[in-house]
Amino acid sequence: MNLPRVQTELAALRQRYSVAVNLNNEFPYVIVKDVDFGPDWRPRQGDVMIVLRRNHPQDQPVVLVEDRMEYLRGPTKHWMSKLAAPPSIPNHRDWKRWCIHEVNWNPQRHTLITVMRLMDRAFRKPNSDDTYDKVVR
């Protein structure tokens, strides 16, 4: 993991969000607190966990969403409710994976801010596939 790069990305993320960080875990992660999921979710605000790969930023991170979130318009195709967080993450059963597919991740351009921009669009259109490509271009 490129720690100076991660620290720079975290500084930018902290300018927009409240975050909790654990880089010492087997699976290093960032929790973005009180994210606005939009009016079609209950509760409307929840946390998003970004699990960094050991070679970050080369590979895109994994995204997890609090299990308590409910989309009011029915099932979502990207929320993988059967895939929990890795067991080494505290309260791992309280998180479920959000599939962001293998987007055209470019480590020279994309950051944790990119991930949150992507998730913001994904929460507003949780059954759309075009959301991801528009953000990472």
CA distance 61 to 127: 20
- Confidence (pTM): 0.89
CA distance 17 to 108: 22
pLDDT at residue 24, rounded to an integer? 87
DSSP 91-137: TGGGEEEE---S----TTT--HHHHHHHHHHHHHSTT-SHHHHHHH-
pLDDT at residue 80, rounded to an integer? 74
Tokens of 101: 């597919």
pLDDT at residue 14, rounded to an integer? 97
Mean per-residue pLDDT pooled into runs of 10, the chain (137 residues): 95 97 89 96 96 92 92 84 68 83 83 93 83 55
What domain count does the chain have? 1
pLDDT at residue 47, rounded to an integer? 96
For residue 33, the enclosing domain spans: 3-136
CATH number of the structural domain spanning residue 111: 3.10.110
